[in-house]
Structures are given as C-alpha cells and as structure tokens.
Amino acid sequence: MLDQIKNDLAQLSNPEQGKKLSRFFKTGKGQYGEGDLFLGIPVPEQRKVAKKYIDLSLNDIQKLLNSNTHEHRLTALLILIFKYKKAENSAKEQIFNFYLKNTKNINNWDLVDLSAPKIIGDYLVIKDRFILYELAKSNSLWERRIAILSTFKFIANNDFKDALNILELLLHDKHDLIHKAAGWALREIGKRNQEVEERFLTKYCTQMPRTMLRYAIEKFDEKKRKFYLTKKLQQKTQ
C-alpha cells in the first residue's frame, strides 16, 4: 500500500510547480525548509489520495513521515487526520501520542497549520494542556508553532486562557514564523472577543514584534490600527 501511495503521488507531480514551492517554502541552505523536496502537487489532490488510503497502518504512515519529500509527509498527516476523526477515544490517544513523537517530521509551517489544531488541539479540548507549555518552550521552531496553532481549536470555542498564556511565552521569540502565528492567534481571539484581544495589546503591544502586532490588528479599523502602531513606534524611539 505504501508503494501505491508513493506511485499515486508521483503520477500527480508537477516539476515546475515543485520548483516554485521549493522557493516559497525556503528550502535553500540555512533556511527553515532546507533539504525539503517538492513534487508540486496541490493539497486538494493530496487529500484525494489520502482518502483512498485511510486504512494505512501507523507503521507505514511513519515511513511517509520520514521522507524528505514534502508531499509524502503532508499526505501522511492528512491520512492521520482522517483516521483521528473516525477513531474511538483510545485510538485518538494513540494518534495524539504518535503525532507528538513525530514533531521532528512535522517540519514546515503548512504541515503544522494543517494538522496541529485538528489532532493536538482537538484531543486537548477537555484534557490537561501542560504539553503545550512544554512545546512552547522548545528549541524547535516547529514545536513552538504546534503549541500556538493547537490553541486555535480552543479559540474557536471561545476558550482563550491557554492561548493567551502561550502568547506571553512566545512574546520575545526570535523567529518570524512564530511572530506570524502569534499575531494570527490574537486576531482570531479578537474576532470572537475584541475586548480580550485589546487587553492583551494594551499590556504587550510595545513589547511584541512588529509582525505579530500587524497580524493581530489586521481586522481593526484604520484609526485603531494606527493607534497601536503609533504606540509601538513611540516605544521604539524612546
């Protein structure tokens, strides 16, 4: 079955698109996606392949996740999401633990964003969330992004506490991909409760990276955006 999946994906490959994606996902030496290989397959096509192989074993999913080919790992995660949705509680726990053991293979922002809320976030909705705080303190960029993206499931349920706590932990993170994810999370909180978002901004807007702030205030009216940007600028010039 594993060979069939790889063959299905190979037949869908588009070398020109693969080159474009390699540049987009920063695969050059020293960049965050260094060494990642792309077949150039749109995600909807990968989703179709994944649905065909929902019964793939975790052992074979592991082999796909170990691949240097981006679409192999993305398709593996799509299969894992489909399996998780169908699973009973004990099987959900197994998939949750399997995911956490594979964070080194969930190593680009699209892979994290696609899967973390649907597996880690969903599993932790009614459970202790201490693991997210451990991930937020990790040296791994991708584990830190998993920590914040997982909270999107809670945010969707108007449950903001852990998201705000993790945003505090990531406030001084050095990586742009964390700045973007953190700002995005704040923006999602603001869509549901702008007062909560603005309390956080009032306390931290002068400390947070400019990218994080810009994402966070993206949906505000022009006057309010200008207010927070000016406040940030004034702090910088003092």
Examine the domain organization and report whether 3 and 116 are in the same domain: yes
Half-sphere exposure of 16 (CA within 13 A, CB side): 0
Report the C-alpha gap between 125 and 43 in whole angstroms.
Answer: 27
- Tally of structural domains, the chain: 2
- Same domain, residue pair 82 and 22: yes
List pLDDT tens digits, range 82-128: 999 999 988 999 999 999 999 999 999 999 999 999 999 999 999 99
Same domain assignment for residues 118 and 3: yes
Indicate if 80 and 104 belong to the same structural domain.
yes
- Higher-pLDDT residue of 233 and 120 is 120
Contact status, residue 45 vs residue 74, Cβ threshold 8 Å: no
Same domain as 151, residue 118 = no
pTM of full prediction above 0.75: yes
Q: Are residues 54 and 36 in the same domain?
A: yes
Domain endpoint, select from 101, 123, 145:
123
End residue of a domain, out of 62, 93, 123: 123
- Domain extent, residue 169, equals 131-238
Q: Are residues 10 and 106 both part of a single domain?
A: yes
Among residues 103, 123, 143, which one ends one of the domains? 123
CB 56 within 8 A of CB 2: yes
Residue type, position 231, single letter: K
SS3 content of the chain, % helix, strand, coil (to 5): 70, 0, 30
Same domain, 88 and 145: no
Do 99 and 141 sit in the same domain of this protein? no
* Dihedral sign of CA atoms 223, 224, 228, 231 in order: positive
139 and 94 housed in the same domain: no
CATH code for the domain of 55: 1.25.10.90
Query: With contact defined as beta carbons under 8 Å apart, do 135 and 147 qualify?
Result: yes
Q: pLDDT: is 181 or 33 the higher one? A: 181
Task: Identify the residue whose tokens are 């973007």.
Answer: 180
Helix and strand element counts for the chain (H, E): 16, 0
pLDDT at 236 (0 to 100):
61
* Whether residue 84 is found in the same domain as residue 34: yes
If asked whether residues 14 and 115 sit together in one domain, one would say yes
pLDDT for 179-206, tens place per residue?
A: 999 999 999 999 999 999 999 999 999 9
Helix (H, G, I), strand (E, B) or coil at 226: helix
